[in-house]
Amino acid sequence: MLKVLAAVGQGIDALNERIGDAVAWLTLAMVLVTFCVVVLRYVFDVGFVWLQESYVWMHGIVFMLGAGYTLLHQGHVRVDIVYRGGSPRYKAWIDLGGVLFLLWPMLLALWWVAWPYVAGSWSRLEASREAGGLPGLFLLKTVLLVFCVLLGLQGLSLAIRCIFLLTGRTEPATGVPAIEGPRDGH
């Protein structure tokens, strides 16, 4: 059973690691598209609504799909007054409680609210309201649900690591920092 849990955690970590790496490239694309929009507008006095919308959409995708990666690498904001000075065991309790009582309930509430919103968008294959805007707004709205899944899975992986630590078992090797603290030492 422990091997299965460790494998599940490692699989989730690997998934969010790959998605985070891909999203990093989307950030570069967003910067390049924004540069093109500025040059086209202020040098050539030309604008394309679809191009302007594309970098706004990319921005949303980067944050929503990168949230699991950020949790994997302990990059989300913490209340350091409570967390920083604690032992690894204390931090594991805080992290486990955070997943169980804050993260998962918030994600379930978001899923509950987002599902009809996304389903309605899919039912009419919603596109941008702007003339010349991007089609496929329903795909962008679907990212809300993907966000819930990826962040919820990463919460599961964190919970598995916490349980391993709290039960005195060897923490599953994930290639990411242990519960001691963020990777940059802050």
How confident is the prediction along the chain (186 residues), in pLDDT tens digits per residue?
788 999 999 999 999 999 999 999 999 999 999 999 999 999 999 999 999 999 999 999 999 999 999 999 988 877 777 788 889 999 999 999 999 999 999 999 999 999 999 999 999 999 999 999 999 999 999 999 999 999 999 999 999 999 999 998 765 555 555 555 444 444
Q: Closest Cα to residue 105, out of 152, 163, 154?
A: 152
Cβ(37)–Cβ(47) under 8 Å?
yes
Could you tell me which residues come within 8 angstroms of residue 5 by beta carbon, excluding any fewer than 6 positions away?
160, 163, 164, 172
Q: Which two tokens stand for residue 103?
A: 């993260």
Displacement of CA 6 from its chain's centroid (Å): 21
Q: Which two tokens stand for residue 45?
A: 């006095």
Could you tell me which residues come within 8 angstroms of residue 117 by beta carbon, excluding any fewer than 6 positions away?
141, 144
Cβ(66)–Cβ(23) under 8 Å?
yes
Domain boundaries along the sequence of the chain:
2-166
Task: Output the pLDDT for position 179.
Answer: 54
Angle between helices 137-166 and 104-123 (to 10 degrees): 160
Task: Output the pLDDT for position 186.
Answer: 42
Task: Output the pLDDT for position 18.
Answer: 97
The structure's pTM equals 0.87
Q: CB-based burial of residue 59 (10 Å sphere; 0-12 exposed, 13-18 middle, 19+ buried)?
A: middle
Task: Output the pLDDT for position 42.
Answer: 96
